[in-house]
Amino acid sequence: MNSQISKNSQVSHRNCEAKTGPHIPLWKRCLDFLIIAALAPALFLFSAVLALLIKCTSPGPVLFRQRRVGHQGREFICYKFRTMQVNADTSSHRDHTRNLIASQAPMVKLDAHRDPRLAPLGAVLRATGLDELPQLLNVVRGEMSIVGPRPCLPYEYELYGAWERRRFDAAPGLTGLWQVSGKNRTTFKQMISLDIEYSERQTLWLDLSIMFKTFPALWSQCVDTHDSRRNGAPSSASRIPETVQFNNL
Helices and strands in the chain, H and E counts: 8, 4
pTM for the model stands at 0.81
pLDDT, tens only, 51-102: 999 999 999 999 999 999 999 999 999 999 999 998 887 777 788 888 888 8
Nearest to 228 by CA among 124, 123, 125, 112: 112
pLDDT of residue 229: 63
The confidence score (pLDDT) of residue 231 equals: 66
pLDDT exceeding 70 applies to what percent of the chain?
79
In percent, the amount of the chain with pLDDT more than 90 equals: 57
Q: Give the C-alpha separation, 159 to 52, whole Å.
A: 37
Beta strands in 138-229 (DSSP E): 145-147, 173-175
**pLDDT tens digits, 29-54:** 999 999 999 999 999 999 999 999 99
CB-based contacts of 142: which residues, under 8 Å, 6+ apart? 21, 22, 24, 29
What is the chain's mean pLDDT, rounded?
Answer: 83
Q: Where are the domains of the chain?
A: 10-238
Is the pLDDT score of 215 beyond 80?
yes
Q: Which bin fits 23, alpha (ψ -120 to 50), beta or left (φ > 0)?
A: beta
**For range 212-226, the mean pLDDT:** 83
Per-residue model confidence (pLDDT) at position 22: 63
- Section 19-33 average pLDDT: 82
